[in-house]
Every structure is written in C-alpha cells, then in structure tokens.
C-alpha cells in the first residue's frame, strides 16, 4: 500500500492510522503493531519537521508491505541527505536522564529488526523491517 503524504503532522498520524488498520486486517499482533506505529510516527515526524521543514507543499511517501513473514515500512523523501542509521546510540547521562532529543532512533531500533537507509538520486529511502515469525 502506497501513501503520498504532505509534510504535515496530521498526515503522519493518517499514515499511522492506516498502518494500524492495514496490519490489524492481516492479523499482525497488537504489540507488534504498537512498535511499528511508534516507529512510523517517529520517522515520519522527523521527515516532516527536519527534512521537509513542515512545508506542506512538499510530499513524502510511505509504503506498507506485509509479506507473511515480515512487515515492512518504507519512507521516501526529497529532503537533505540524512542517514538515521549512522546516528550513534545515545547513552543516558544519568539514571534519570530525560533530556529531549536523540531518543527516537533508539525507540525505532527496539521496535524493528532491521533498519536500512539508502540515498537514491535526490531521495532518502528508509526501510524498516519487522520479522513476524
């Protein structure tokens, strides 16, 4: 399923709702759907806020794919080149470290089994894979 979305927060949430419905109809367990939705919301929000600067005239794409053995989310945007997989894991400064920023990719890493980034021409392509078996 391909979604073409404007660079707005409400469009990210539309993609999350579509994912929840699409995955639920295919029998994906709720706890996995939760992690996938969290990952899509985080990555989609980063595209909207950082890559596309909330310019609602710009668009990005989300593709949802269920292969039986895996669930795949692919995000594509035309923002500046940025590889989130190259972001180092941020260790907490203290036990109660709650400073904002830098935690999103850690949540995505916990929620999916594989994160792949490529730059195809002028396009960022981020592929998240969660194995279901």
- How many distinct structural domains can be found in the chain? 1
How many percent of the chain have pLDDT more than 70?
89
Residue 93: pLDDT band with limits 50, 70, 90 = low
Domain with 13, as residue range(s), is: 2-131
Whether 102 has a pLDDT exceeding 60, the answer reads no
Q: If residue 53 lies in a helix (H) or strand (E), which one and from where to where?
A: none
Query: What's the pLDDT score for residue 87?
Result: 81
CA atoms of 41 and 12, how far apart (whole Å): 6
CA atoms of 2 and 76, how far apart (whole Å): 11
Residue 133: pLDDT band with limits 50, 70, 90 = confident
Both tokens of residue 10?
Answer: 């409400």
Whether 97 has a pLDDT exceeding 90, the answer reads no
| pLDDT tens string 30-87 | 999 999 999 999 999 999 999 999 999 999 999 999 998 999 999 999 999 999 999 8
DSSP letters for 63-108 = EEEE-SSEEEEEEEE-SS---GGGSPP---SSTT---SSS-HHHHH
Average pLDDT score over residue span 113-127: 98
| Residue 84: closest CA among 31, 124, 132 | 124
Whether 26 has a pLDDT exceeding 90, the answer reads yes
Residue 98: pLDDT band with limits 50, 70, 90 = low
CATH number at residue 29: 3.30.565.10
Both tokens of residue 131?
Answer: 């194995």
Q: Is 12 in contact with 48 (CB distance < 8 Å)?
A: yes
Q: How far is CA 123 from each of CA 74, 85, 87, 127, rounded to the nearest angstrom? A: 12, 16, 19, 13
């Amino acid at each position: 399923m391909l979604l073409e979305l404007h660079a707005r927060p409400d469009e990210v949430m539309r993609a999350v709702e579509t994912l929840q419905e699409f995955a639920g109809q295919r029998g994906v367990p709720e706890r996995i759907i939760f992690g996938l939705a969290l990952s899509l919301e985080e990555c989609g929000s980063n595209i909207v806020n950082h890559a596309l600067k909330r310019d609602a005239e710009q668009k990005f794409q989300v593709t949802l794919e269920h292969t039986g053995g895996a669930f795949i989310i692919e995000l594509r945007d035309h923002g500046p080149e940025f590889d989130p997989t190259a972001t180092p894991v941020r260790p907490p400064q203290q036990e109660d470290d709650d400073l904002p920023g830098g935690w999103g990719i850690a949540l995505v890493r916990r929620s999916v089994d594989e994160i792949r980034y490529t730059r195809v021409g002028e396009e960022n392509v981020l592929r998240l894979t969660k194995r279901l078996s």
